[in-house]
Structure formats: C-alpha cells, structure tokens
Amino acid sequence: MGTMAEAAPQTPARPRRSYGSLTGLLVVPASLWYLVLLVVPLLIVVVMSFGEKSRLGGYQPAFTLDNYIDALDPQRVSPFITSLAMAVSGTILCLLAALPIAYFIATRGGRRKSLLILLLIVPFWTSFLIRTYAWLTILGPDGLGGFIGTLIGDSSFRILGTPFAVLLGIVYAYLPLMVFPIYVTMERMDRTLIEASKDLGASRWGTFRQVTLPITATGLITGSILVFIPLMGEYVVPAILGYGRVFLIGNQLVLQFLESRNWPEGSARAVVLIAIMLVTVIFYVWFVNRGRRTREVSVL
Amino acid sequence: MTAPATPVSRSDVLPNVDVAPGRAKRRGRTRDRLVEGWLRGHTLLIYLFLYFPIAVVVVFSFNATNRRVTQWEGFSLKWYESVLNDTVIQAALANSFRVAITTAILATLFGTMAALGLQRTPRWFRTIFEALTFVSIIVPEIVIALSTLVFYSTSFDAVHELFGVRWRLGFETIIAAHALFNISLVMLLVRARLSGMDRTHVEASFDLYGTPWRTFWQITFPQLLPAIVAGFLLSFTFSFDDYVITYFVSGAGTTTLPLYVFSTIRKGVTPATNAVAAVMLLITLTVLVVGQFLVWRNARRTGQRGAQASVAGMITEQSG
C-alpha cells in the first residue's frame, strides 16, 4: 500500500497533448526572409518610385509624381497595353487548349491518369529557357518561317520577332500551369451530379455547361490567374522569340533597371504592375468567395 | 416540365416512345463518337505540341553538322564532347549546382520549419505570414528580381558608408533571392501534408509519454517526408533553371548555366547550344525521376495511395 502511494507522484499527472509552444519559434528564419527580402525591397521600390534619377544613375530622394505621370503617359504606355493584350490573349488560348485535355484526363483517364499527368509535369519541370529556345529552330528561317516564306514566295517573311511567335511561346510555356488546377477541380467533382443530370434528361453538352463548368469555375479562374500573372511580367519569351521587337513591360523594366539605370522611373512602372496584379487577385478572391456564398445559399 | 393535366391515352404516347428517342439516340451516338474523337485528338495534339520542341532540341544536339543546325549530317556526339570539355560551361554548370543545392537545402529547411511552427503561432501572425506567402508567389518574378537588386544595392551602399566594407553581388545574393520563393513553395507543400495528416498517431505517441522530439522524428516527420522531398526537388529545379532573378542579382564570376545559355542564344542557334540545353534537360529530369522513385518507395512502405504517392500528384494537388 505504502509503495503505491510513493510511486504515484513519480508518474506525470497527465501526458503532453501536443508539441510545446516554443515550436512557434520555428517560423523565425522564414519570417526574416520575408521581412528582409520581400517587404523591405518592395517598400524601397515604392519609396523610390516617388524619387528622382540622380546624375550618375540610381536614386536621389525627392517627392514627385513625375514617374507615374510618365509611366501612364498615353504616348509611353504602350508596353503596358502590349503586355495586357498578350497576357489576356495568352490566358484565353491556354484556357481553350487546357479545358478539353483536363476534361479528358479527369473523365477518360482511367488507369492511365497518373501517367498522363506525369507527361504534363515533365515539360513543366524542364527549363523554361530551353523550352523557349527550342522554338527558335522550329520557327526560324530553317524551319516553319522559311517554309511558309518559300510557300508564299516572300523571302522576307518571318515568324520570329512577331507578336505571333511571342504568343505561341507563352502559350507553350504556361499551358501546364493552366491544366493542373482545372484537372484537380474536375477530378474532385462529385460524379453522381453528372449521373443525376443525365437521369434528369440533360444532354451531354447541357450537363457539361450546367453542371461541370460551374463546379470547375474555381479551377478555371485559378488556372487563369496562375497564367495571367507571370504573363504580365514576362521577359524571357519576348526577349528570345520577339527579338526585342515585341516590347513588353518586362523588357522595359529590364531596360530601365539594368541598362539606362533609371531606377525611379522603373520603380513607378513596377508599382503600376503590382497594382494591376493586386486588382486581378482581389477580383479572384472575390470571385471564389462569391461562389462559396451561393453554394451555401443553395444548400439552405 | 409540368405534368400534363389530362391523362393521355397510351396510343398517343406510344409512337413517341418508340420512334423519336430511337432516332435521337442514333444521332446522339454519332455525336458522342465525334465528341470522343475530338477529345482524344485534342489531347494527343497538345501532348505532341508539348514534346515536339523538346525533341527538336535533343535530336539536333546529335547532329554532326558544322554549318546549319537543321541540316542533318549524321549522328555524332562531338558537340557533347566539345561542350563538356569547355571550361566556361564547366564553370557555369558548377555554379548552377552550387546555387541550386544550397537554395534547395535552405528552402526545404526553413520552409518545413515554418510549416511546423505556424501551427503554434497566434492567429494574427499566421494571417500576416500567409499574406506574405501569397505576395511572394503572386508578384511577378521580374518585380521580385528588380526590387531585390534595388535592395541589395541600397543596403550595400549603406553598409559601405557605415562600416567601410564593400559587399558585392555573388553567390550569396543569388541564393538568398532564390530561397524566398522556394521557402514559400516548400511551406505550402508541407502545410498541405500537415493538414491532411492523421493526428491520432501523434496523440497516441504523447499518450505513451513520447517526448516531443521523438514524436516528431518517429511519427510526424515520416508522414511529412514525401512533401519535404517534393519541395526539395522543386526548389532545386526552380533554382537550377532560374534566369530572371539570377540575371538581376548575379555578380562577376557567378554565371549560371541559364545565364550562359541566354548569352549564346543571342548569337544564334548552334548544335553546341542544343547540347548544353540537352544536358540541362537531362539534369532536371534525372532529379524528377529520382524524386519520383523516393516518393514512390516511401508511399509503398507506408501504404499511401493517390496524390501523395507521386511528385506529380503533389504538384497538381497544390495548384488546385
């Protein structure tokens, strides 16, 4: 009896339920990274966008809106317009190309589903630069460009250096990013809804339009955002396939930061670019939440 | 779809039931076959579209020609020989490995730590942290690149004025910049795994008086391993292939392979560039295959199935 009374206090009254609160300290390195290499640099760019270019290039403190006025000057705004046009058409083309393939893999993939997805991952995994470079041979004077040139009898015909080449390059580069989210939402979709729709007499197209498409809307929008955002800031594709003749905002930023070294002017353009991104993303968040609310309402 | 108010006699309905649906069905079947055919054809075309350019690069890297790249003059490995003996390319390759391996280690370590730590931080902190993760992923790469350059330049000037030390752009600046995006990436992958994890094992371990340290290494870590491996490989690949950020924040003597390739592209397409490109493809694909093998073996041992059993599955899950 006595031994038991002695032994009892030695065992802990209650075992731990979870990891200790010091675990929270594990976020310190990542937080430092965010602070030093994300927050501070972006703040510096914002501050700099109100400054002036010093005589040697670089930055001189000031408070002026000239850089913004210049960035949005109707005569100098064309890189933004070109980028926007490229990004919108590129996103739409990716969407059109991705939708059937995502649908095919999700509904007809069967046992080959993983293989088909892996085959999409491989191009996505290979170097962006190399995949863009590959089109130089295909579209060049020894490839399709020269072929069409001889076909129509115009030796000056070129594909490289045209907006078409750039558009092809960006669709090629970003297509997998569009397929993944669409595929995931289609895959997660409740199949019984399709059965139900068919049982209620809807045609295949009707089922696709009224059931599959609304449910996968989130995937479509996510994919569009994933593609649209990098497209807006694209630099590599226009630099390689556009020969610098297709001048996007990314090319202008490189020019202003690395060549003419007009940092305040470049910063203002970068801030405008971030603003466009923010508007897009806010729209995205709004759209996704809107979908949720309607679903809740429909359940009620 | 309102029900008819008056009952209809059987003879009125019968012809409709017998004939019309039959014809519609036949027409529907032809259309079904067309749709199926179109879906298959479209999918096949997209796969061809995705692989054709890569195949062109690889095929022409074996071309023996000394003149035009596309003029096939027989199979030869001579471009690989010349590329692999080129000291400039060797240096670029070594630089790329150095940057990518260090970045992947840092990103995997800090990203995993952050994912674990976030479970034990106050809600306000988590909100800010998640917002910053979001920002680091949605801000276009070029903006990250230029703001990082401006930051380095400004802070290095400040350090120079205060301490008289001149810091320069180099490996450290490239790695630090690459790590930012990849930390976010690893953190997202590991967090997704954590949220899908079965808590009962952790609780059982604590009930059995397992220390937090042992619980972590014996219970949590093995379950997180696939996500950690996938994160490491993705970070390595993104860092190895990165051009834009590296271009902005690299200094003298830190030319990586993508920078080298970009500079040679400006001079035109050559079989030698094709060979370098093929080497780059080989390296990143090897990484993918090795990673897939590790994840697959782990999945077999622990009996996981589905998305967590492949790198590809995890990437696609993440994008959804």
Q: How far is B300 from chain A (nearest CA, A)?
A: 16
A217-256 residue pLDDT tens: 888 888 888 899 889 889 999 999 988 788 888 888 888 8
- Closest partner residue to B146 (CB to CB) among A21, A105, A270 is A270
Residues in A touching B203 (Cβ below 8 Å): 17
Q: How far is A2 from chain B (nearest CA, A)?
A: 25
* Inter-chain residue contact B148 with A41, CB threshold 8 Å: yes
* Inter-chain residue contact B117 with A123, CB threshold 8 Å: no
Q: How far is A269 from chain B (nearest CA, A)?
A: 10
Taking the CA atoms of residue A165, residue A171, residue A173 and residue A174 in that order, the dihedral angle to the nearest 10 degrees is 160
Superfamily of domain B87-319: MetI-like (1.10.3720.10)
Residue A53 parent element (H or E): strand A52-53
CATH topology of domain A80-129+161-262: MetI-like fold (1.10.3720)
- Closest partner residue to B151 (CB to CB) among A44, A127, A254 is A44
Under the banding of pLDDT at 50, 70 and 90, the label for residue A1 is very low
Query: Domain limits of chain B?
Result: 22-60, 87-319
* Inter-chain residue contact A38 with B135, CB threshold 8 Å: yes
More confident residue, A274 or B29: A274
Burial class (CB in 10 A: 0-12, 13-18, 19+), A239: buried
* Inter-chain residue contact A129 with B68, CB threshold 8 Å: no
Backbone torsions φ then ψ of A99, nearest 5 degrees: -55, -50
Q: How far is B151 from chain A (nearest CA, A)?
A: 5
Terminal alpha carbon distance of chain B:
37
Per-residue CA distances from A15 to A19, A54, A174, B207, B210 (Å): 11, 65, 51, 6, 9
Between helix B311-319 and helix A217-232 the angle, nearest 10°, is: 90
What's the pLDDT score for residue B47? 94
A2, pLDDT greater than 70: no
Taking alpha carbons only, the member of B271, B303, B289, B313 closest to residue B233 is B289
What gap in Å lies between CA A273 and CA B274, rounded to an integer? 35
Residues in B touching A38 (Cβ below 8 Å): 132, 135-136, 144, 180
Q: How far is A300 from chain B (nearest CA, A)?
A: 24
What gap in Å lies between CA A141 and CA A159, rounded to an integer? 8
What gap in Å lies between CA B55 and CA B124, rounded to an integer? 50
Q: Which residue of A has its CA nearest to B185?
A: A30
Residues in B touching A47 (Cβ below 8 Å): none
Residues in B touching A58 (Cβ below 8 Å): 153
What gap in Å lies between CA A55 and CA A58, rounded to an integer? 8
* Inter-chain residue contact B114 with A277, CB threshold 8 Å: no
Chain pair A-B, CB pairs under 8 angstroms: 277
Residue A52 parent element (H or E): strand A52-53
**DSSP conformation class of A234:** -
* Inter-chain residue contact B180 with A37, CB threshold 8 Å: yes
What's the pLDDT score for residue A14? 58
* Inter-chain residue contact B132 with A236, CB threshold 8 Å: no
* Inter-chain residue contact A42 with B313, CB threshold 8 Å: no
* Inter-chain residue contact A24 with B121, CB threshold 8 Å: yes
Summarize the confidence of residues A50-78 as an average pLDDT.
77
**DSSP conformation class of A25:** G
* Inter-chain residue contact A137 with B149, CB threshold 8 Å: no
Residues in B touching A235 (Cβ below 8 Å): 142, 244
Q: Which residue of A has its CA nearest to B183?
A: A30
Alpha helices in chain A (DSSP H): 2-7, 28-34, 40-48, 66-71, 78-108, 113-125, 128-139, 144-152, 163-188, 191-199, 204-207, 213-215, 217-232, 236-241, 249-254, 263-299
More confident residue, A121 or A299: A121
Residues in A touching B40 (Cβ below 8 Å): 104, 108
Percentage of residues in chain A having pLDDT higher than 70: 88
* Inter-chain residue contact B316 with A183, CB threshold 8 Å: yes
* A233 contacts A250 by C-beta, under 8 angstroms: yes
What's the pLDDT score for residue A39? 94
What's the pLDDT score for residue B239? 93
Residues in A touching B47 (Cβ below 8 Å): 119
Predicted TM-score (pTM) of this structure: 0.83
How many CB atoms lie under 10 A from the CB of residue A52?
18
What's the pLDDT score for residue A219? 85
Residues in B touching A135 (Cβ below 8 Å): 53
What's the pLDDT score for residue A19? 65
Residues in A touching B209 (Cβ below 8 Å): 12, 15
- Closest partner residue to A33 (CB to CB) among B139, B149, B183 is B183
Residues of chain B below pLDDT 70: 1-28, 67, 69-70, 302-320
What's the pLDDT score for residue B17? 44
* Inter-chain residue contact B114 with A29, CB threshold 8 Å: yes
What gap in Å lies between CA A53 and CA A61, rounded to an integer? 9
What gap in Å lies between CA A41 and CA A50, rounded to an integer? 15
Query: Domain limits of chain A?
Result: 32-76, 80-129+161-262
Q: Which residue of B has its CA nearest to A216?
A: B320
Q: How far is A121 from chain B (nearest CA, A)?
A: 6
Question: How does strand A59-60 pair with strand A52-53?
Answer: antiparallel
Three-class DSSP category at A154: coil
Q: Which residue of B has its CA nearest to A221?
A: B320
Reported as half-sphere exposure (CB side, CA atoms, 13 A), residue B236 has a value of 19
Residues in A touching B113 (Cβ below 8 Å): 26-27, 29-30
A203-222 residue pLDDT tens: 877 888 888 888 888 888 88
How many CB atoms lie under 10 A from the CB of residue A150?
10
B264-300 residue pLDDT tens: 887 777 888 888 889 988 988 888 888 888 877 777 7
A143-195 residue pLDDT tens: 888 888 888 877 778 888 889 999 999 999 999 989 988 988 888 887 788 88
* Inter-chain residue contact B56 with A122, CB threshold 8 Å: no
Q: Which residues of A167-186 are buried (b: 16+ CB within 10 A; e: fewer)?
A: bbbbbbbbbbbbbbbbbbbb
Mean pLDDT of chain A: 82
